[in-house]
Chain A
Amino acid sequence: MVYIPHDNYILLVNDKHLLFRGLALKRFKLESIYSLLLLITLIISASVIFFIAFFLFVESIPALSHYGLSIFVETRWDPFNKEFGIAPFIISTILCCGLAIIVATPLGVLTAIFITEYCPEPFRSVLHSLFEIFAAFPSILVGMWGYLVLVPILRDYIQPFLVRYLGFIPLFQGSPRGFGVMAGVIVLTIMILPTLIVISEEAIKMVPQELKEAAFSLGATKTQTVFRVVVPTAIPGISAGILLAIGRAIGETMAVLMVTGNTPKVPTSILDTCYLMTSLIANEFGYAAGIPLYRSVLFVVAFILLLLSLLFMASARIIIFRMRKKMGLK
């Protein structure tokens, strides 16, 4: 009789204890379910890139096993006779992107120097935000401008002039069509300039103030400080920007597609039409979808595009990472 209440008491305590443990357990379980769900979302996000690479690779196997590596050097492109040489597209891409980088790098870097080092304040933020907005500019609108404004100007005014006065150089021979390498290079330059400028700006801003002050204290002028101290220090960051810009140029589709003329042959002068890898996929996917080998060739091209852009992207990242470490930032 004595220990009934005692028992009860214990039971009660136990009950309370159990109740409490139950709540804690429930909370613990919920927490772990949440974290598991979050982990799953993270795994999905991180694995997309492998998914893409895997599917593109699997799809490009038929063409690679049928034609071997000769597909990369063959220059004849005649899908309906099953001749698939993608060399013209690779060469066009290299030519246009290479020229665009050569044009864009000095323009972009000098603009970035002006914005960060010389520009007075209200204009500086305005210019900075402007180029940030241009970086997200829809490429179809640049393509539209290229197709309706740039190409006629090139055809009617600039290219006849080039042919007449510089025609003795093989690079400027051909007929003034407007469409072609030249228009492609201009449009690509426009598309990559914002990226280049924004990243070069960051790189120049990262240069420690002490370095500049040291240069000034030695009696260097502003220009000397900027070009002999600031820019050389910022070169790793600037080159990362250039690499990212190359990646972007390689992947650019719509703007280029609308102005390059798109004939599958190797361009020999800047007046020639050309056909870039991205345009090839965008233009011919509709016809190719039903023909397995044709489609597979387009996936080979897509896979190369993926590898190239990842290569440039990754090397840019590594440079930025190292530079941050060196400057003691993270």
Chain B
Amino acid sequence: MNRVIHDRIAKIILIVVTVITLSPFIAIISDIMFKGILHINIELITEYPRKLGLEGGALNAIVGSILMIALACIFAMPISIGGAIYLSEYLESEKLRNILEFMVDTLAGVPSIVFGAFGYIFFAYFLRLGACWLTASLTLALMMLPIMLRTAEEALRFVPVELKEAAYSLGASKWQVISNVSLNVAAPAIISGILLGIARVFGETAPLLLTTGYNFFSPSSFLEGIATMTVTIFMWVESPFPELVNRAYALGFILLIIVIGIDVLANLLSRYFARHMVK
């Protein structure tokens, strides 16, 4: 009897702790959801700001975020997937692979503000690009790289050997096997990795403070400053105007939906891949 009570008490304590852990997240999400829905309007997503952002919408930030992520993907995708293919298909030494994986993993642990400082000093200052769209995208590409590379590598390693051997037995060369078999089979998981990379940097603010500059319109060249949703939220939240704070909530709500949406999509894809492979 004593043991049963003991067990039950432990379970209750654990439930209480879990509820405590969950509560701040629920508080944050519900706060942003309620106030965001309350203040969201069509002007916010269809109009450029007027009077230095005091009036109008935030189209510059929404377009800016998308443009910046798109360019970052263009840089990061080939490099990370190429690196993943070499790691999983070409590299024979286990030891070397561990070392290289470790080096890529350490990149994932670098604080985002350090990426910002590096992006500023290398791209903006050393390569003389200035704080602009290109600099921001290159910096973000570096941040996406480790996630994309490691997910793609794991996915490629999960491709069943039988499939590859079947292709080899038909006389396919190594590259043909990789491009026609491995990449095709691993595609859902690789895409999931790309989405995870995007989700990681979509909500980033710190490196962008140092690398984007700002722009009240969409940039017309790679070397122009760019506005992003996160930096705009930061500026608005700390502004003394309650109207801007309300709009920050609305923009934060949009950001939240996008980030969670991308995350869920990535999860579904990787689950689809796992089920597919087990079968």
Chain B proximity of A196: nearest CB distance (Å)? 10
> What does DSSP make chain B's interface, helix, strand, loop or mixed?
helix
Chain A proximity of B4: nearest CB distance (Å)? 8
Measured CB to CB, the nearest residue on chain B to A31 is B175
Q: Do A310 and B18 form a contact, CB below 8 Å, given A141-B203, A285-B209? A: no
Which residues on A sit within 8 Å (CB–CB) of B31? 145, 149
Task: Report B150-174 CB contacts with A as 1/0, cut-off 8 Å.
Answer: 0000000000000000000000011
B267 within 8 A of A: yes
Q: Chain A interface: which of B53-61, B219-227, B257-265?
A: B257-265
Question: Judging by beta carbons under 8 Å apart, are B252 and A221 in contact?
Answer: no
B120 within 8 A of A: yes
Contact of B173 among A31, A47, A310 (CB under 8 A): A31
Chain B proximity of A131: nearest CB distance (Å)? 8
Question: Judging by beta carbons under 8 Å apart, are B82 and A42 in contact?
Answer: yes
Measured CB to CB, the nearest residue on chain A to B236 is A144
B110 within 8 A of A: yes
Q: How far is the CA of A5 from the CA of B32 in the complex (A)?
A: 88
Chain A proximity of B32: nearest CB distance (Å)? 6
Contact of B82 among A37, A48, A110, A134 (CB under 8 A): A37
Question: Judging by beta carbons under 8 Å apart, are A35 and B121 in contact?
Answer: no
A162 within 8 A of B: no
Which residues on A sit within 8 Å (CB–CB) of B272? none
Contact of B267 among A40, A129, A282 (CB under 8 A): A129
B128 within 8 A of A: no
Q: Do A281 and B205 form a contact, CB below 8 Å, given A44-B83, A111-B21? A: no
| Size bracket of the B interface | 35 or more
A208 within 8 A of B: no
Q: Chain A interface: which of B9-17, B37-45, B66-74, B186-194?
A: B9-17
Question: Judging by beta carbons under 8 Å apart, are A313 and B17 in contact?
Answer: no
Question: Judging by beta carbons under 8 Å apart, are A55 and B122 in contact?
Answer: yes
A133 within 8 A of B: yes
Question: Judging by beta carbons under 8 Å apart, are A56 and B230 in contact?
Answer: no
Measured CB to CB, the nearest residue on chain B to A108 is B21
Question: Judging by beta carbons under 8 Å apart, are A138 and B263 in contact?
Answer: no
Q: Do A118 and B14 form a contact, CB below 8 Å, given A27-B173, A35-B86, A141-B28? A: yes
A239 within 8 A of B: no
Question: Judging by beta carbons under 8 Å apart, are B205 and A253 in contact?
Answer: yes
Q: How far is the CA of A5 from the CA of B141 in the complex (A)?
A: 64
Q: Do A289 and B120 form a contact, CB below 8 Å, given A41-B82, A113-B14, A306-B114? A: yes
Question: Judging by beta carbons under 8 Å apart, are A141 and B32 in contact?
Answer: yes
Measured CB to CB, the nearest residue on chain B to A141 is B252
Tell me which residues from 95 to 135 in chain B have a Cβ below 8 Å from any Cβ of chain A: 100, 102-118, 120-122, 126
Task: Report A224-250 CB contacts with B as 1/0, cut-off 8 Å.
Answer: 001100000000000000001001001
Question: Judging by beta carbons under 8 Å apart, are B199 and A136 in contact?
Answer: yes
Which residues on A sit within 8 Å (CB–CB) of B25? 130, 134, 137, 190
CB-based A-B contact count at 8 angstroms: 247
Question: Judging by beta carbons under 8 Å apart, are B6 and A133 in contact?
Answer: no
Q: Do A56 and B118 form a contact, CB below 8 Å, given A42-B87, A111-B18, A223-B7? A: yes
Which residues on B sit within 8 Å (CB–CB) of A56? 114, 117-118, 121
Contact of A55 among B118, B196, B249 (CB under 8 A): B118
B206 within 8 A of A: yes
Question: Judging by beta carbons under 8 Å apart, are A44 and B79 in contact?
Answer: yes
Measured CB to CB, the nearest residue on chain B to A223 is B10
Chain A proximity of B231: nearest CB distance (Å)? 9
Question: Judging by beta carbons under 8 Å apart, are B100 and A46 in contact?
Answer: yes
Which residues on A sit within 8 Å (CB–CB) of B17? 106-107, 110-111, 114
Q: In this complex, which of B24, B87, B199, B248 has the most chain A Cβ atoms within 10 angstroms of its Cβ? A: B24
Contact of A306 among B80, B91, B110, B245 (CB under 8 A): B110
Q: In this complex, which of A108, A127, A148, A312 has the most chain B Cβ atoms within 10 angstroms of its Cβ? A: A148
Which residues on B sit within 8 Å (CB–CB) of A133? 260, 263-264
Question: Judging by beta carbons under 8 Å apart, are B114 and A114 in contact?
Answer: no
Q: Do A285 and B205 form a contact, CB below 8 Å, given A55-B118, A258-B237? A: no
B149 within 8 A of A: yes
Chain A proximity of B24: nearest CB distance (Å)? 5
Q: Do A314 and B205 form a contact, CB below 8 Å, given A254-B234, A282-B113, A305-B114? A: no
Question: Judging by beta carbons under 8 Å apart, are A144 and B111 in contact?
Answer: no
Tell me which residues from 83 to 113 in chain A have a Cβ below 8 Å from any Cβ of chain B: 106-108, 110-111, 113
Interface set of A (CB-CB < 8 Å, partner B): 27, 30-31, 34-35, 37-42, 44-49, 51-52, 55-56, 59, 106-108, 110-111, 113-115, 118, 127, 129-130, 132-134, 136-145, 147-149, 186, 190, 193, 197, 221-223, 226-227, 244, 247, 250-254, 257-258, 278, 281-282, 285-286, 289, 298-299, 302, 305-306, 309-310, 312-314, 317
7 A–B pairs (Cβ distance < 8 Å), ordered by A: A38-B82, A42-B83, A107-B17, A132-B263, A223-B6, A306-B111, A317-B102
